[in-house]
């Protein structure tokens, strides 16, 4: 049986298919970059069990909404009392310190935007070595010396501090982290907590 030579159109078609295949393979190689403004869904999927911007946005929105509607805000004097956010401590086993720094800055922005407060920048406090050391050692309560310093040296009437705790559980290849964000507003003069709320965030990863 003799082999029939392939016709010219068939060879061309075969070549075209091969070229297309190579082009598709080449297109599939290398990283792909996407701009968030072109694809708003970029921020949607969770990438880890840490806190991302979406988690922080939701948490902050929930906290600020509750704060604005609280009886404390209704009775707030109109002369824009001063407030500072001292620290949001990371009491978890996740490296979320950077995310909490961002949350603190976002909170400052929201408080400024509300027009109800004179906000004392947190970085003003942390550039003072003494105060930075006090804040570093800050636990759930603020000691009297620190409160006196906040009032006298910085003219602060109220301060916000808080912490993030967690419950982590693992079953087989699934790991779930439940975060609890506690934030409270305290009166510097009286050491009375004027507002406190808790925001819950849950993240899960499955291998």
**List of residues contacting other proteins (CB under 8 A):** 48, 89-95, 97, 133, 136-139, 168, 172
Closest approach, Cβ 138 to other proteins, in A, equals: 6
Closest approach, Cβ 96 to other proteins, in A, equals: 8
Locate 69 and state its tokens: 């509607």
| CA 112 – CA 120 distance, rounded (Å) | 10
Q: How many residues does the chain have?
A: 207
Closest approach, Cβ 57 to other proteins, in A, equals: 23
| CA 195 – CA 193 distance, rounded (Å) | 6
Q: Which is nearer to other proteins, 46 or 139 (CB)?
A: 139
DSSP-assigned beta bridge partners for residue 200: 180
Q: Which is nearer to other proteins, 87 or 157 (CB)?
A: 87
Closest approach, Cβ 134 to other proteins, in A, equals: 10
Q: Which is nearer to other proteins, 79 or 206 (CB)?
A: 206
Locate 147 and state its tokens: 């409160």
Q: Which is nearer to other proteins, 96 or 150 (CB)?
A: 96
Q: Which is nearer to other proteins, 48 or 68 (CB)?
A: 48
Closest approach, Cβ 181 to other proteins, in A, equals: 16
- Give the pairing type, strands 82-90 and 118-120: parallel
| CA 109 – CA 100 distance, rounded (Å) | 14
Closest approach, Cβ 55 to other proteins, in A, equals: 17
Side-chain-side CA neighbours of 13 within 13 Å: the count stands at 5
Query: At 129, which helix (H) or strand (E)?
Result: helix 129-136
- Measured CA to CA in angstroms, residue 8 lies from 11, 13, 15 at distances of 5, 9, 11
| CA 156 – CA 146 distance, rounded (Å) | 11
Q: Which is nearer to other proteins, 89 or 131 (CB)?
A: 89
């Amino acid at each position: 049986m003799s082999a029939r030579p392939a016709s010219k159109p068939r060879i061309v078609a075969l070549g075209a298919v091969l070229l297309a295949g190579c082009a598709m393979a080449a297109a599939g190689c290398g990283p792909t970059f996407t701009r968030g403004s072109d694809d708003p869904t970029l921020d949607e999927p969770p990438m880890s069990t840490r806190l991302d911007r979406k988690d922080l946005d939701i948490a902050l929105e929930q906290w600020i909404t509750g704060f604005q509607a609280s009886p404390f805000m209704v009775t707030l004097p109109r002369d824009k009392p001063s407030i500072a956010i001292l620290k949001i401590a990371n009491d978890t086993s996740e490296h979320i310190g950077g995310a909490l720094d961002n949350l603190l800055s976002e909170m400052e922005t929201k408080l400024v935007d509300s027009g109800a407060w004179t906000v004392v920048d947190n970085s003003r406090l942390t550039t003072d070595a003494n105060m930075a050391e006090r804040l570093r050692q800050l636990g759930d309560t603020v000691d009297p010396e620190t409160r006196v310093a906040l009032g006298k040296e910085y003219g602060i009437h109220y301060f916000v501090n808080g912490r993030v705790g967690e419950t982590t559980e693992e079953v087989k290849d699934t790991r779930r982290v439940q975060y609890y964000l506690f934030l409270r507003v305290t009166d510097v003069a009286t050491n009375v907590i004027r507002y406190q709320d808790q925001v819950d965030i849950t993240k899960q990863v499955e291998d």
